[in-house]
Amino acid sequence: MSVERVETKPIPGQKPGTSGLRKKTRVFMQPGYLENFVQSIWNGIGGIAGQTLVLGGDGRFFNDRAVQIILRMAAASGAARVVVGQNGFLSTPAASNLIRQRRADGGVILSASHNPGGPDEDFGIKYNMMNGGPATEAITSAIHAASETIDHYLTLGTPDIDLSRLGETALGAMVVEVVDPVADYATLMETLFDFNAIRGLLQSGFQLRFDAMHAITGPYAVEILERRLGAAPGSVRNAIPLPDFGGGHPDPNPVWARDLMEAMHAADAPDFGAASDGDGDRNMIVGRACYVTPSDSLAVLAANAHLAPGYAAGLKGVARSMPTSGAVDRVAAARGLPCYATPTGWKFFGTLLDAGLATLC
């Protein structure tokens, strides 16, 4: 099993943003396009020899092929281990947790967030650092610079790995570890929130509905809400991730989550409703005939965080982007918490989190 050096040349337009590189799926499917960008990631971060990486995505079209390509390229460039979600699946929060839990050197997440999926829709790839957060502007600039000077990429000429089976497999000198994409994240949730109290609420007759929108959070919601917390079977709708999100648009808002909104405004509406986006890092909260804006969701979380075991010691601070409403500012003032308003962009939140200045953003 030898390393193959494939000659290439720069491809214009491979400049990642704070959410990585997003293009139409057919663009990524062009010969060498994904390979060029992945090699540029390796080059831009100074190489991956001896490193441990986390890999997975939201299951959209081309996710399965991209995972196999990236595994071969990681092995060819000397990575020691890649921890990959079963069948190539990992939500963005679960990938972040795995990076930190395994003390990995970084991770590659395949997603275009709330954008539609399919051969004629969108695909994306982003690099997360060892803190579990998206790459900083300095790193994305280095990746872009590498994409403008690339002249070859490295890969292995090997068959695909069976990613449906949990456990370890050798790919050249690299170990591929296939893990349950849900288990570690669900366990993390049990340390943060009072599952006994929530379970008791659901047993008292409290009803909820969660719309996974045929995106990555379906298996997570079934495991956490129905199996561990005891919500009624069927409380999670559209729970099976599909490559085209069932022909829908996995953006959790009143327009695209119309079925949930109609259910929450019906005479027999559940007590609580929620939906999430393609890769599971954005949500919508709905009460009976009541849409809760993300701004208010943050304020409610900040006001009640001390009731959750994981935050019983209190919050270090809260932060919001400048276009966001000032609801959380009122909570911060009442609770004596530092409150920060940042420009739009996750990197600003990441700086506050890493500095220990904020807990919720």
Q: Which residues are catalytic?
A: 113
Q: Helices 327-335 and 294-304: crossing angle, nearest 10°?
A: 10
271 three-class SS: coil
User: What DSSP designation does 226 have?
Assistant: I
How far apart are the C-alpha atoms of 39 and 98, rounded to whole Å? 23
Residue 153 pairs in a beta bridge with 6
How far apart are the C-alpha atoms of 190 and 208, rounded to whole Å? 19
How far apart are the C-alpha atoms of 213 and 181, rounded to whole Å? 18
How far apart are the C-alpha atoms of 275 and 278, rounded to whole Å? 10
How far apart are the C-alpha atoms of 101 and 179, rounded to whole Å? 13
Q: What's the chain's Rg over C-alpha atoms?
A: 21
Residue 342 pairs in a beta bridge with 321
How far apart are the C-alpha atoms of 138 and 347, rounded to whole Å? 11
Q: Helix H segments across 90-228?
A: 92-101, 137-147, 183-192, 195-203, 217-221
**Percentage helix, strand, coil, to 5, in the chain?**
35, 25, 40
- What's at 58, amino acid-wise? D
For residues 319, 324, 327 and 328, what is the CA-based torsion angle, rounded to 10 degrees? -10
Q: Are 87 and 164 in contact (CB under 8 A)?
A: yes
For residues 90, 276, 227 and 208, what is the CA-based torsion angle, rounded to 10 degrees? 180
- What's at 332, amino acid-wise? A
